[in-house]
Amino acid sequence: MDWRGPAVVVALLAIGAGSGFAASAASRDTTVGSGVPAPVPAERPEMPVEAPRPFTADPDIPALEPDLPMRQATLGIGKFEILFPAPKGWRIHPVASNEWKWKQPGTPDNSYVMRIEQIDSQDITIEDAIDIRVARVRDEQEDVVIIDRGADSLEYTYRSNEDTKRHSFMRWLDLDSSGQADVEIVVHGRERDQVGAKDLIDRVADGMRGATGGLA
């Protein structure tokens, strides 16, 4: 038997394999990288998104209307006395010695309400009073959106403790031209109350007078 043929084939295969390995080793990049390993960002990463939380339904009572009938009201005594127009038929509820709330009888707290506070003892400017209010509402409430900030006013929305959406208007007054804020007025309402709430707070603020007769 002639065994030389198979032996030659085996030898040639061995030579070819060795040559291929040598060529591969010669072409392989043996450079050692430098730096700290870091993950490669995905081309289109998927970020977790928290589902929006729906608001609770508002009390289903008629919206606060503009042009309410008003009557003259008085708060405070002596040099701290203030006079202003207030809605006829609304009841006053003392909150503190320098703070009062007005509500239309039969309406729940999360419908619409007006509050007036004398803050002249705090010795702050109107600008500072607005800064304090913005910081406070952002710290204490959720889903706060500042809609408008004026020289003496603030409009914003937020999520109430009952999960309803509230629309608030605020005004600050310097009644004696001292450079300090004397009175803070706020009307809270629902989205449907915003036209009436804006009309109410403007009429109350524009008509307010101090004990010395100073204009708001």
Question: Residue 9 domain-assigned?
Answer: no
Q: What is the pLDDT of residues 157-215, one digit of tens each?
A: 999 999 999 999 999 999 999 999 999 999 999 999 999 999 999 999 999 999 765 54
Contact 71/85 with Cβ under 8 angstroms? Answer: yes
Per residue of the chain (216 residues), give pLDDT as tens: 444 444 444 443 444 444 444 444 444 544 455 555 555 555 655 656 666 789 999 999 999 999 999 999 999 988 889 999 999 999 999 999 999 999 999 999 899 999 999 998 889 999 999 999 999 999 999 999 999 999 999 999 999 999 999 999 999 999 999 999 999 999 999 999 999 999 999 999 999 999 765 543
Question: Residue 62 domain-assigned?
Answer: no
CATH number at residue 159: 3.40.1000.10
SS3 184: strand
First to last CA, the chain: 124
Domains: count for the chain: 1
Count of helices and strands (H, E) across the chain: 3, 10
Question: Residue 110 domain-assigned?
Answer: yes
Q: 165 is in which domain, residue-wise? A: 70-210
Question: Residue 26 domain-assigned?
Answer: no
Longest CA–CA span in the chain (Å) reads 134
Taking the C-alpha atoms of residue 206 and residue 52, their distance in angstroms, rounded to an integer, is 39
Question: Residue 47 domain-assigned?
Answer: no
Question: Residue 46 domain-assigned?
Answer: no
DSSP letter assigned to residue 28: S
Question: Residue 158 domain-assigned?
Answer: yes
- pTM of this structure: 0.75
